[in-house]
Amino acid sequence: MSSAKATRASFGEALVELGNEFKNLVVLDADLSKSTKSEGFAKKYPDRFFQMGISEMNMIGVAAGLSFTGKVPFLCSFGCFLTGRFDTIRVSVGYSQANVRLVGTHAGIGIGEDGYSQMALEDIACLRTLPGMAVLQPADDVETKQMMRYLMTHQGPVYLRLTRQNLDAVSPKNYKFQFGKGVELKSGTDSVIFATGGLVGNSLKAAEALAKEGLSVGVVNIHSIKPLDEDLVLNWAKRVKHVFTAEDHNVVGGLGGAVAEAIATRGLATRLTRIGVQDTYGESGSPEALYEKHGLDTFGVARTVKSVLKN
């Protein structure tokens, strides 16, 4: 099993590996290649790497243009900076259905001391509203690399959301990534946590801790926020009385919103609790302290689930 690793690091490694196999893979970065981990690709394939400077709007337009020539461009920046260019993404990539991979690193409060100005907490909410835009968030090294390989053949725009902090390995043995399909990591009869990205590992540990207190809580890794695996979500919602979502993102419009929409549209009476940043701005602090403050660490997730199920 892989050791803990940031998904941005796994992304950088995958770029280098895939670059040799897929000659149509190109990478664009906005003066953040060291942080986004695209620098490895730049060193090995300099003729297919484009350093665009601090000009994300131009980078988005160039990436769209490259996609129309048959290239598969991976456009890299911090997730919050891409969200800030939403109007350009909407027209140049979304409306045009350009085959572009928007790669947003440094997602959520997990980035730590850099503070709110660089925390992507609204990116999922924004980008999942665009028709035809897939929104993906891997949970560990194995999933990131398999997802990257899949993205070389996927058709249509994609937003790939990656972490700065290291994530423990959670993927099952012989794991196989499937676009739009959630991954059941733990069974449960009392409730279920639908988790994504940096919260998958903490949710799994929380469920294991709760099992020692007599609570049977399932855990599902939702790596594809759009398209959401609605069949899996609804199957769980029909079996349990309460479901939880867990994400390092504003609870408004993120995974919690997507799950709520799926449940409400089918008219189910299942209760939902959204674990995430509770509609506030982020702040500077260590990733561990911020996760603890916002209840996103293992203890916080377990505490929320227990308090709801015991009442």
Write out the catalytic residue numbers. 56
Alpha carbons 290 and 297: distance in angstroms, whole number: 9
- The DSSP call for residue 42 is H
Helix segments in the chain, DSSP class H:
7-21, 33-36, 39-44, 56-67, 79-83, 86-88, 123-127, 141-151, 199-211, 230-239, 255-265, 287-293, 298-309
Contact 255, 227 (CB under 8 A): no
Helix (H) or strand (E) holding 49: strand 49-51
């601090």: which residue's tokens?
Answer: 54
What is the separation of C-alpha 271 from the centre of its chain, rounded to a whole number of angstroms? 24
Angle 90-96-97 from CA coordinates, rounded to 5°: 95
Under 8 Å between Cβ of 206 and 215: no
Q: Is 163 within 8 Å of 108 (Cβ atoms)?
A: yes
Q: Which residue has the tokens 């928007």?
A: 102
